[in-house]
Structures are given as structure tokens and as C-alpha cells.
Amino acid sequence: MARLPLLAATAAAALVLPAAAAATSAPPPADCPLWAPHARVEHPIPGTKLVARDPYGGLLARNRLFFSFSVRGPRADLANVASVTWALDGVVKRTDDRAPFQWSAQSGSSKRMPAGDHTITVSVTPRGGGAPATTSFALTATDCQPAGFFPDVPKARGASLFNFQSAIERGGGPDLTKVAVTSSSNVKASLPRALRGRRIGALVLLGDNGRRIKTYTLKGYAAALARDGIRVQLTPGARAFLRVTGLPTGVKQVQVRLVSGIAALRTPRKAFRVTGTVYAGHAHASVTGGGSYA
């Protein structure tokens, strides 16, 4: 069966474009923190049933090729809109006199969305006249990249993959010190008797620009790996079923590959969600991904 695209989300992560679609090839700042994409926020527009949708929850990573804000609401209420005006820090950037009412532009362009703190103001003018209804919200645009977590869990049989990144796309994030996987819904971890003591997968450590640092073999024990100060803990049956600690300096990306029979869906036809948590010293960020099968 074909699989539907992964639904990347934190408390609501925005869709992340592949590296090839990045708006700029400039490297990120050297002092970027570890952070997860923010949840989508919908700001009510007073006196209406409409909302101004900020898909980035007030924090926009300028590595995205485009940004897009929109006005949403009941169809009848949208039909009563004569125009929508979008302003950035008091300067009008776009006016729409027909649906869809949205402001989209290149996020990496200094003319469109400069890095720094901003105020977005959305004004809705009703048909037939009357004063515009207005709402405003804060937005920070940054050249730092959010952390990434990309799970691939089979429906029943098959290998699984958990990919952690301290910063997506152009890299440049802080060194990872540990990572963990928790089942948010419909994912189970097992250690079948036939795999106990045998090879159950691999731990791959990568540095800047995807440079491979080292690959370790995982064995079918509770401590799937204990070597070079690194420990991989597998806890079958638990929601928090995988934990990797003691990562060496320079690790920006961690891949955990597990053979068939270790991680799978509890109910094949239901959607699943898995949360990956990445740590850099005392800082941590959690990203939830998932999807379903067609």
C-alpha cells in the first residue's frame, strides 16, 4: 500500500521544504539555539468570525522558500469581505480584493521579511462600507533553523527509521548530546524472542554537511549499545521506547535504523504520531511527526 506524506508537526510544526528549495544558500548564524517549530496560531479579528492565520506561531525560519499568512473563516463571512490589507511594521505590503485572502512572499528576501522582530497587522474591510476590522500579532524572523525529527514507521512488517537533526536544511545547529523517541499514538516497540542478542539495527552519527562520523551496530538487548560512552536504551512496550545518550562532540544528526519487528503500528489503518526529542546540553526541543497509510 502507498503511504500518505508524513504530517510533520510539533505542537504544530510548519511544513518544511527540502534543502534544495531553500531561499538562500548563506550559512546560518554560528550561535543559533536549539528550537522546535512553533504551533500554528489563529488570531481572532474583532467584530467578525474571521481569523488571521499565522502558521509559524510567531517564529518564522527564513530558510523557507516562501511564507504565507491568510485570513480564514466561514464561507459566508469571507464572501462579505471587500478587501484585506497586510502591513509589516506599519508599511502596507499587500491588499487583496478577492479570495483567497493571503500574503505570500519569499521569506529570505530582506525586502519581504527582514530578520528580526516585527508586527503584522491585518485589516479587513467589509462590503457595503464600514470601518475595517483589524488585528495585529508579533513575528520574529530568524536565519537560525529549527530542529527536525523525521520518523518512518512501517504499517506491520518492515524496517523503521528515526532521523534527528539539531537544525534542518543548511545545518549549523548546536551539537546534539542525546535524543529520545516517544510514541504519541499508535506506535509500539517490541523485542521478539528471535531477535534477542542479534543485530536489530544501526546508529549512525553525522556532523556538519551530513559528514558521517561513525556507525554502530545495535543488538537485541535492553542496552542495544554501550560503547565509546554512547548508550542506546530500548524499552519494549513503553511509550518512551528509545533513548540515545552520551553523543560525542560534533554530532548534528542522528539516525536510528531498526530492523523489521522492532517498531510498528498497533493498528495499521489508523494514523500514527511519534515525538522525537533532541538535546544539546541543558537545552531540548521536541518535534512530532507521523502520518497514515492509504
Q: What is the pLDDT of residue 22?
A: 36
Q: Which residues contact 99 (CB under 8 A, 6 or more apart)?
A: 78, 81
Q: What is the pTM of this model?
A: 0.82
Q: What is the pLDDT of residue 16?
A: 32
Q: What is the pLDDT of residue 140?
A: 95
Distances (CA, A) of 1 to 6, 8, 156, 246, 286: 15, 21, 11, 38, 30
Q: What is the pLDDT of residue 1?
A: 37
Edge-to-edge order in the sheet of strand 116-126: 59-61, 133-142, 116-126, 81-88, 91-96
- The backbone torsions φ and ψ at residue 106, rounded to the nearest 5 degrees and listed phi first, read -70, 125
List of the chain residues with pLDDT < 70 = 1-28, 64, 108-111, 170-171
Closest CA to 162 of 181, 135, 147: 181
* Residue given cell 509500539 in the structure block: 188
Cell of 129: 462600507
Q: What is the pLDDT of residue 228?
A: 97
Give the domains, in start order, of the chain with CATH numbers. 38-142 (2.60.40.10), 148-291 (2.60.40)
Contact 28, 171 (CB under 8 A): yes
Closest CA to 176 of 97, 101, 230, 235: 230
pLDDT tens, position by position, 6-65: 443 333 333 333 333 333 445 667 788 999 999 999 999 999 999 999 999 999 988 767
Angle at 147 between CA 201 and CA 31, to 5 degrees: 125
Q: What is the pLDDT of residue 107?
A: 73
- DSSP code, position 20: G
Q: What is the pLDDT of residue 23?
A: 38
